[in-house]
Structure 1
Amino acid sequence: MSSDIRKAGDLDVDVDLAHLFASLRRRWRRIAVFAFAMTAIAFLIAVTATPLYRAETRLLIEMRESVYTRPQLAEAGERAALDSEGVASQAEIISSTEILTQVARELDLASREEFEAAGPSLPGRLLIALGLKSDPAATPPEERVLEAFREKLQVYRVENSRVIVIRFSSEDPELAARVPNAIADAYVASQRAAKAQSNEDATEWLEPEIADLRQRVREAEERVAAFRARSDLLIGQNNTVLATQQLAELSSELSRVRAGRAAAEAKAQAVRTAIERGTALDTLPDVLASGLIQRLREQQVELRAQIADLSTALLSSHPRIRALQSRLADLNAQIRAETVKVLEGLEQEAQTARLRERELMADLATLKAESARAEEEQVELRALEREATAQRELLESYLTRYREAAARGERNYLPVDARIFSRAIAPAEPYFPKVLPITLAAFAGSLLVMGVVVLLQELFSGRALRPAAATFTPVEQVEMPPARAQEAAPGRGAPPDEVNVEAAAEALISTGVARAIFISPEGDEAAATAVLVAREVADAGLRVLLLDLTATGAASWPTLESDVYPGITNLLAAEARFSDVIHGDLYSACHVIPIGTADPARAMRGIDRLPIIMSSLTTAYDLVVVECGAAEATALARIVDEDARLLVSVLDPKDGAVATTAETLRAAGLGTPLLVSPAGRIPPPAPPGRDVA
């Protein structure tokens, strides 16, 4: 493995910005040559390109009707034509095939070169020969002209307005102005023709409808007249039936007669009572109202006065006084007789009132029956009249609309709901190509592209990378003399061999071992050594698998994008298959099995499956690198066999844990391990939340 890739693989590097941007300064000649070359090409293309001119016509969608000529009930139609959807619909009508075809024929666009379809290119002809593309020559000429026409045409509505813009681009400035004007004129003409046709269709439809309505109105009115004659319904005042009116009048008369009868009976009873009791009759109004009684009363008063005068001089038995008293008695008898006649008159009046009351009651009963019948017939008559009125009103409405449509057709007054308020004029300057902006944009873009290419080259080559800063001093390779080692570990054998990553990889390749068992007594930082060795062997062309058996996943997390991938614990817990737990290293061809996400307790229950798993992996790969972390010698018995090689990762040769681990492995009968040091490399930092030994 090269030095640059090892730096990326360790994930312990930073980007050297000073070196990165210095590469732009070193290669400025190459960047400038590329930029000027691209600018020159863009300038030549812009200068030699065919100039295009653009012009536009603007229409306003509005109601052109006057308040004096606007048809009745037209407000709803006006709102529908002027809303957002209505204006958008008019824009679609303007760009319709019918209008474009009419304008293309009118301006003879088919004879112009810019509307002729160019021949297919070589790849296009190849696609046509293979049947993957249609042959343009097989398309009708008119359709080809329309296709080119639509490519040069833009019809759109100005946002939040009722303005429609017709924009057209062409190589000919005169044609660029004529086409949108012609489209606008054709649209207005088509709208006027559509209104004329609609007006004519309405007139043709109204004529037979009016004739039919006239016949129906006549029949309805005839039914009303016939029913009225048959039912003999006479209408009195206040538009009421005569029988009902008579019934009301008769009821009023009956009430009056009853009141008169009651009054006559009361007067007669008063007179009778006065006669029977012998009380003074001159107190009764009806008696006093008699002229005869009034004269008799006057004579009576006069006689009483004479008697009174004579009584002063004569005795009561005087013949003269007796004669006057006799005459007074005759007057009283006459008054009483006249009172009896008044009583008889009152009784006769009461009798007459009773007879009149009975007659009125009989007439009232008859009129009630007649009124009930008349009301029933009146209901039916009203229904017939309503039908006749509705037919008449509909006829009048149709007649009004027919006269209006006929007048508009005769006077040719059919205003279009659109107005051309801005006509296109021939542009003086082309809108394309803009030589200066294109040239400047090409220069700036080529500088940017070439600069990015140079920066990427520096990044991928590794020249712009440098070791990341750390919180501890880089490890130095220290050769411990045998005497020093003996002194550090008294009573133990000679220290094992210590090699760097490249030498360890060469030793594994040359010996052809199937498994490389790494132990890291110094903690998670030392686990990076196993990763470096696995990548080095993979770069040599062997199929290598890195198996992470550490408690924290320190060996696999720098090689993957995330530390939540399924791994060996999932395999031991029978929660996954081999294809689910094997992942690719981000920076080499090495494969990785991480620690996994299964419950550790459940995974330990399946630890007996580990030798079988190791055997399967050994069969599939040339080398299986196993990082065990700070494992004890007794725990390695399951994975160590005759094809395995023990290796101890070393960060600090002075650390007594390294020598102790090597001695423990020898004492357990596992042989002398090979000490592997990263040779001065800075170990990768531990992930957040993980222990650092």
Structure 2
Amino acid sequence: MLQVNKPTSEINRDFAEADGSPSQSLTSYLDIIRRQFPTMVAIVSACVILALLYLFTAAPQFTSTATMVIDTRKVQLFQQQSVLGDIAIDSATVETQVEILKSENISLAVIRDLHLTEDPEFTAGGAGLFGAIVGSIAGLFGSGSELSEFELTRKALQRFESSRTIKRLGLTYVMQIGFTSGDPAKAARIANAIADAYIVDQLEAKYQATRRASVWLQDRIKELRTQASAAQKAVVDFKIANNIVDSGGRLMNEQQLAEVNSQLIMAHASTAEAKARLDRMNDIVKQDIPDANVTDALKNDTIVKLRGQYVDLASKESIWSTKYGRDHLAAVNLRTQMAEIRKNIQDELKRIQESYKSDYDIAQTREEAIKSSLANVVSESQLTNQAQIQLRELESNAQSYQAMYDNFLQRYMESVQQQSFPITEARVISAATTPLVKSYPKTLIILGVSLLGGLMLGLGAAVARELADKVFRTTSQVEEQLGTNCIAILPALNAVATKTAVTGKPGRKPLNPEPDLLRYVIDNPLSRFSEAVRSLKVAVDLNSIVRENRVLSVTSTLPNEGKSTLSTNLAQLIAHGGAKVILVDADLRNPSLSRALLPDAKAGLVDVVAQQAKLEDVLTVDHQTKLAILPAGTTSKLLHTNEILASKPMRDLVALLRTKYDYVVLDMPPMAPVVDVRVTSNYVDSYVFVVEWGQTKIDVVRHNLRGAPEIQHKLLGVVLNKADTKLLARYESYHGRYYYQKYYARYGYVE
């Protein structure tokens, strides 16, 4: 606060720079809560009081619940598959059953069974204080006529549906039925009645559907019986007319065709087999002596015996020829015997060949005969093809009618059985019982909601008030918005009853200033106000290191912000400290300081500048502080006060005052109404800008300073005046500790 001025160019910013760090943001919110804490406490208290009032006046409500399940494994002890078909239970099916439970059909059934139209809870107004008030108002302004049965039912239905809750538990097949009432026993009774009414409705719906299906099935069975009999008679008549004999489920010509075809296949195979044997025999006949494999294949004992003899003779002939030569008589005899055996083998083979040829001829003849018979059967079958097609059509129709008749007859028997033993898929798994604890209002929840709602409303109101509070309340606001120092914060002063006077030169009458306010630093030197003015004096002295600060101008944005009080007390404080100080009332448009300190003065600043009076003649010196006071003079007829303040005689007067006094304090007019302050920048060293705490708008101050760069350049700082010390502690805690005497009473500070 006592540091050298920061550059004033920051005043021209459209928005102050803000630190976007999370810690800074959290700190700003905590500051808002601290500043608006009473408002938040009031809102939270109001919400809690309203919640308590509601809890004390609301009638207690009790909720009883019953649970039902849609059993996918339904018991079918006395019935088979349903006539209408079983529908797979899925999520949509369960939701459908929930809507059925919510239907008016179920609700009206419960209302009728329990006679709820005669219950005042369902036909009168709502429960609790609010319901009693509504009922009284309805009684006062109502027609007085009794409600009809229909109106009572609709009113009871509306109240019934508002108290009933039906929902599905998660993704299960379980449905929960709840009912809320002021009577716990009644709540349990109605919840169970809803479950019972639903089961009865489901059974009745199935019974009616089955009964309608049975009636329709009876008519359909009669019709199908007639159609099936007619179709079977048509089949029999057609067979008689076309000489069609059915044997074993097949026609005679079809059986003959199949048998002849089978015989033909077998004959063809026999022919092929006989031909193969004949061809093989022809190949064997071409050999002189068949080998052993062929002999074994023929299985002829004669050939086998002859071949054995031939092999023995050949062996002996080979031995004799080797031993005695081929021309030996014994070898020749052996070869002769071998030739005889070969001839016998050939004769036997030819005999077998003739036998195979005979078998082959017989097989061919038989095959041809079967082919001829097949051709005859095929010819006969072709003649009956058209009749067979028509016969199949008639038989198909007869079978279809018979199957339909059997199916419908079975369904009819099942429907008759289901009428006697109807079964529903839903069953109660947990009946509703009398609740022991009220379900509404829930004290802790309502108090918690009211507290949370109050906190949210309070925080919202606090933020709204902060956003709407576009005035200066803290030193940080001054530094951020205006880019200059906040030199001091002056507490608000209350006028006291005692009167003081400023004594002037000998022979002059004592003057009566405003009570205490203009001499507060003299009458109360150990007050918080005086200490704040001292901090302003210290800032002036420290700033003298940078530039000369002997001519000080005190101004403000708007009138009545306390600039004259500050300028007077500052001048008196400096003068009381031993320095030579002169206080000049330069507010020529509204010289309130002159009227307060020197109301009888006839001449002043205006006369000295106009060279109509001497400086020594218009000055008044306070005998206690030795403060010299220069009043404004006669200003009632002045039109261009800015020209007077900007004139060369005014500059010369200020230069003269510099030579005679250590400090020259100028009480200037406010900047917003007039432009007089802007013309004094060429002879004023520093400006002290007074802003009323919590009253002057930020945008007004910024606008005026932005339009006066010459004032910005010489601006010493801002003084927040008329601060509420109790509220200030919520905006800047360290200022609050300062202005309260908790820490500074030991140094002699008083109120």
Q: Normalising by structure 1, what TM-score?
A: 0.50
Match among 425, 440, 450 for residue 432 of structure 1? 440
From 117, 120, 131, the counterpart of 1:110 = 117
Are residue 245 (structure 1) and residue 254 (structure 2) matched?
no
| Contact residue 60 and residue 420 of structure 1 kept, 8 A | yes
| Native 8 Å contact 1:254 1:361 kept in 2 | no
Map of 1:414 onto structure 2: 422
CA deviations 1:30-88 (Å, max 9, x no partner) are 849x83x76556444423432222111111111463366563489983523xx111111
1:54-133 correspondence to structure 2 within 5 Å = 54-63=63-72, 65-66=74-75, 71-72=80-81, 77-80=86-89, 83-118=90-125
> Mapping of 1:445-460 within 5 angstroms?
453=461, 457=465, 460=468
Q: 1:158-307, aligned counterparts within 5 Å?
A: 158-229=169-240, 230=242, 232=244, 235=247, 241-253=255-267, 256=270
- Structure 1 SS opposite 2:86: helix
SS at match of 2:80: coil
The reply on whether 1:506 has 2:514 as its aligned counterpart is no
Letter of the 2:411 counterpart: R
Aligned partner of residue 673 in structure 2, secondary structure: helix
The aligned residue for residue 368 of structure 1 is 378
SS in structure 2 opposite 1:168? strand
Are positions 1:398 and 2:408 aligned together?
yes
**Is residue 203–residue 405 contact of structure 1 (8 Å, CA) maintained in 2?**
yes
Residue 144 (str. 1) matches residue 144 (str. 2):
no
In the aligned structure 1, how far is the partner of 2:137 from the partner of 2:668? Answer: 54
CA contact (8 A) 1:54 1:168 kept: yes
Give the Cα separation in 2 of the matches to 1:107 and 1:8: 80
User: Shift in Å at residue 649 of structure 1?
Assistant: 2.7
Q: Is the 8 A contact 2:263 2:370 kept in 1?
A: no
- d(CA) in 1 for partners of 2:37 and 2:406? 90
2-structure distance, mates of 1:214, 1:415: 31
Q: How much has 1:147 moved relative to structure 2?
A: 0.8
Is the CA contact (8 Å cut-off) linking 1:213 and 1:395 kept in structure 2? yes
Secondary structure at the aligned position of 1:188 is classed as helix
The answer as to whether partners of 2:165 and 2:179 remain within 8 angstroms in 1 is yes
Structure 1 counterpart SS, 2:88: helix
Counterparts of 1:308-327 in structure 2, within 5 Å, are none
CA–CA separation in structure 1 for the residues paired with 2:50 and 2:272: 124
* 2:108–2:157 CA contact under 8 A, matched in 1: yes
Once the two structures are superposed, what CA deviation does each residue of 1:162-210 show, in whole Å capped at 9, x if it has no partner?
Answer: 1111111112222111111111111101111111112212211211222
Q: Matched residues in 2 for 1:182 and 1:172: separation?
A: 15
Q: Which runs of 5+ in 2 are unaligned?
A: 1-9, 19-27, 126-132, 287-294, 303-349, 488-538, 541-548, 553-646, 652-665, 679-688, 690-695, 721-751
Residues 413 and 505 of structure 1: is their aligned pair in 2 closer, same or farther, counting only changes over 3 Å?
A: same
Structure 1 residues 7 and 242, CA, compared in 2 at 3 Å: closer, same or farther?
farther
The CA deviation string for residues 504-545 of structure 1, in whole angstroms up to 9 with x for no partner, is 54347x9xxxxx9xxxxxxxxxxxx9xxxxxx9xx9xxxxxx
SS in 2 for 1:432: coil
- 2: CA distance between counterparts of 1:414 and 1:399? 20
Distance 1:394 1:68, change over 3 A: farther
- Counterpart CA distance in 2 for 1:342 and 1:41 is 132
Kept after mapping to 2: 8 A contact 1:21/1:455 = no
> What is the RMSD of the two structures over their aligned residues, measured on CA atoms?
6.4
**Once the 2 structures are TM-superposed, how far is the Cα of residue 260 of structure 1 from its aligned partner?**
6.2
Are the aligned partners of 1:58 and 1:165 in contact in 2 as well (CA < 8 Å)?
yes
Q: Does 1:51 align with 2:60?
A: yes
Query: Residues 63, 434 of structure 1: CA spacing in aligned structure 2 closer, same or farther, 3 A cutoff?
Result: closer
The sequence identity of aligned pairs, in percent, is 22
Closer, same or farther: CA 387–402 of 1 in aligned 2, 3 Å: same
Per-residue displacement from partner, 1:255-291 (whole Å, max 9, x unpaired)? 64687699899999999x9xxxxxxxxx9xx9x999x
The amino acid that maps onto 1:426 is T
Per-residue CA distance 1:209-234 (angstroms, 9 max, x = gap): 22222233333333444444426355
Show the counterpart of 1:649.
709
CA distance in 2, matches of 1:263, 1:73: 72
Whether the 8 Å contact between 2:187 and 2:434 is mirrored in structure 1 is yes
Give the whole-Å Cα distance in 1 for the aligned partners of 2:279 and 2:73: 85
**Equivalents in 1 of 2:283, 2:35: separation in Å?**
144
Q: How far is the alpha carbon of 1:93 from its aligned partner?
A: 0.8
The aligned amino acid for 2:86 is G
Aligned residue runs from structure 1 range 652-671, under 5 A: 653=713
Measure the CA separation in 2 of the matches of 1:459 and 1:125: 49
Equivalent residues of 2:484, 2:717 under 8 A apart: no
Q: Check whether the contact 1:94–1:155 (CA below 8 A) recurs between aligned residues.
A: yes
1:60 partner letter: V
Task: State whether residues 83 and 210 of structure 2, in contact with CA within 8 Å, keep that contact through their aligned partners in structure 1.
Answer: no
1:24 aligned partner, one-letter code:
F
Shift of 1:372: 4.4
Deviation at 1:381, TM superposition (A): 4.2
SS of structure 2 residue aligned to 1:241: helix
TM-score norm. by structure 2 comes to 0.47
What do the CA deviations read for 1:394-429 (whole angstroms, capped 9, x no partner)? 3322222221221232xx211111111111122233
CA contact (8 A) 2:278 2:356 kept: yes
Alpha carbons 1:103, 1:186 under 8 Å: kept: yes
Post-superposition offset of 1:89: 0.8
Distance 1:143 1:257, change over 3 A: same
Between the aligned partners of 1:358 and 1:441, the Cα distance in structure 2 is: 110
C-alpha spacing 1:139/1:21, structure 2 compared with 1 (3 Å):
farther
Letter in 2 for 1:94: L
Distance, in Å, in 2 between the alignment partners of 1:60 and 1:212 is 42
1:467/1:266 CA distance change after superposition, 3 Å: closer
Residues 1:465 and 1:364: Cα distance change in structure 2 (over 3 Å): same
What residue ranges of structure 1 are gaps of 5+ in the alignment? 1-5, 130-135, 274-282, 291-339, 482-492, 511-515, 517-528, 530-535, 540-557, 560-586, 591-624, 630-646, 655-676, 683-693
Q: State the SS of the aligned residue for 1:467.
A: helix
SS at 2:229's partner residue?
Answer: helix
- In structure 2, the CA distance between the partners of 1:228 and 1:105, relative to structure 1 (3 Å rule), is same
Would the alpha carbon gap of residues 185 and 262 (structure 1) be closer, same or farther in structure 2, given more than 3 Å must change?
A: closer
Deviations 1:535-570 (A, max 9, x none): x9xx9xxxxxxxxxxxxxxxxxx99xxxxxxxxxxx
Residue 450 of structure 1: how far off its partner (Å): 5.8
In the alignment, the residues of structure 2 paired with residue 400 and residue 377 of structure 1 have an alpha-carbon distance, to the nearest angstrom, of 35
Tell me: CA distance 1:372–1:289, structure 2 relative to 1, closer, same or farther (3 Å): farther
